[in-house]
Amino acid sequence: MPEQTFRLPDLGEGLTEAQLVAWRVEEGARVEVNAPLCDVETAKAVVVIPSPWAGTIQKLHARPGESVAVGEPLVTIAATDAEQAEATPGTLVGYGPGAGPESGIRRRARTPAPSPESSGDVRAAPFVRQLAKDKGVDLAQVTGTGPGGRITRSDVEAASPSPAVASSTAAPSTDGERRISVVGIRKAIARQMVRSVSTIPQFTEFAVFDATNLMATREQRKASGRSMTPLPYFIAAVVKAVRAYPLMNSSWDESRDEIIVKQPVNVGIAVNTSQGLLVPVLRGADQLELTVIAEKSAQLIEGARAGTLPPNQMSGGTITVTNVGASGPVETGTPIINPPECCVVAFGAIKPRPMVIDGQVVARSGAWISISVDHRIVDGALATEFLTALVSELETISA
């Protein structure tokens, strides 16, 4: 049986390395084509790597927690099919170009994965079901917190009797300190934030909007059985304001000192997950109706939290929104731009606050908005006009 070394493939979207989260096989075990080999965490998502060959595992070349560069050895397999082992396919389907002559996979027909709702009343994606199986969690006993009661990765990890696999490893210290090796998503976040504050001269403006109409519209939809969170309304309002001020949907080309105004409005949605902050992208948001924005954004958020989104759904944003009031009574904040974008919009918690209406101080539902913009592209006056337009869109929402 010829031994073949499978190297970490190119996972696409310019990713150069991944952290090995966990092996699903062990040395000496038998593995079939397309059977899961391991879980790796990239800068954008957790990815399951399938086996390129059928055979026996000879050597695992990395340990959980280690960072593996694209093209480095991942696993050596004694293949049972000599013809299959000698084949030189070029692409790992779904992950981008091969990383070298040994990185591709000759694919066999795959059995369709079960639908998320295929087991009784349990609603969970296949990735979440596998995670529950690995951790010994009975999904029937888990209450889902995702859209429609779906069970997410976070739900499984919270119900797990053993600690969840972290995206970083900690080293004990004798002096009471604890050092954490930063890899994967957390490392990518750190690099992106340093790039943002180091290369983008950004400033922030703030405003408060009257959410009376928004909340009334939500109640009307809820009464008709079409309940919707505030986020889709926020996204739709941002899209309309961007149409009026397209420069907010741009980036700075540092190599040529040019402003690139983007045509589609691809809205990044900041999502807090167990792996850290992820920003899935709602592509072509300017072409979507409100109900479609709600459906697609909910799917993206669930996928980000479950770790099932492919890398191409985590890139290509042109403007980002973050709902900082979604998890608590946060009024506002100073958001940091997600490079290479020009603008990020943060929404605070909607709650009763004093407002002056017709000369009288009354309690009205309202929330803070803050925008951070690239001062190379946008001056204060334009930022103010954009923020004013955004407030107007939010205050005139109707069913």
Reported as half-sphere exposure (CB side, CA atoms, 13 A), residue 64 has a value of 14
Tell me how far apart the alpha carbons of residues 167 and 184 are, in angstroms, rounded to a whole number.
6
The total number of residues shown for the chain amounts to 399
* Catalytic residue (choose from 24, 61, 221, 375): 375
pLDDT for 115: 41
pLDDT of 84 reads 53
Q: What is the pLDDT of residue 246?
A: 97
Nearest in space to 371 (alpha carbons), one of 253, 242, 274: 242
Digit-by-digit pLDDT tens for the chain (399 residues) are 678 999 998 876 567 788 888 899 999 999 998 889 998 877 667 778 899 999 999 999 999 878 888 899 999 999 886 555 554 433 343 444 333 333 333 333 333 334 444 445 677 765 567 677 777 888 888 887 765 677 876 677 778 764 444 444 455 556 778 877 676 677 778 888 999 999 999 999 999 999 999 999 999 999 988 889 999 999 999 999 999 999 999 999 989 999 999 999 999 999 998 778 899 999 999 999 999 999 999 999 999 888 788 878 988 999 999 998 877 777 889 999 999 999 999 999 999 999 999 999 999 999 999 999 999 999 999 999 999 999 999 999 986
| Distance between CA atoms of residues 316 and 12, nearest Å | 13
The pLDDT score that the predictor gives to residue 157 is 73
Total Cβ atoms within 10 A of residue 241: 25
Whole-prediction pTM value? 0.67
Q: Tell me the domains of the chain and their CATH numbers.
A: 3-86 (2.40.50.100), 112-165 (4.10.320.10), 200-395 (3.30.559.10)
User: Could you tell me the two tokens for 157?
Assistant: 């990890």
Closest CA to 254 of 198, 323, 204, 205: 198
Identify the pLDDT of residue 398. 84
Catalytic residue flag (residue 61): no
Strand pairing report for 319-323 and 267-269? parallel
Give me the pLDDT at residue 330, please.
Answer: 79
Per-residue CA distances from 109 to 6, 33, 34, 106, 112 (Å): 20, 10, 9, 10, 9
Helix axes 230-244, 290-306, angle to 10 degrees: 120
> What is the model's pLDDT at position 226?
87
Contact between 230 and 365 under an 8 Å Cβ cutoff? The reply is no
Query: What's the confidence (pLDDT) of residue 113?
Result: 39
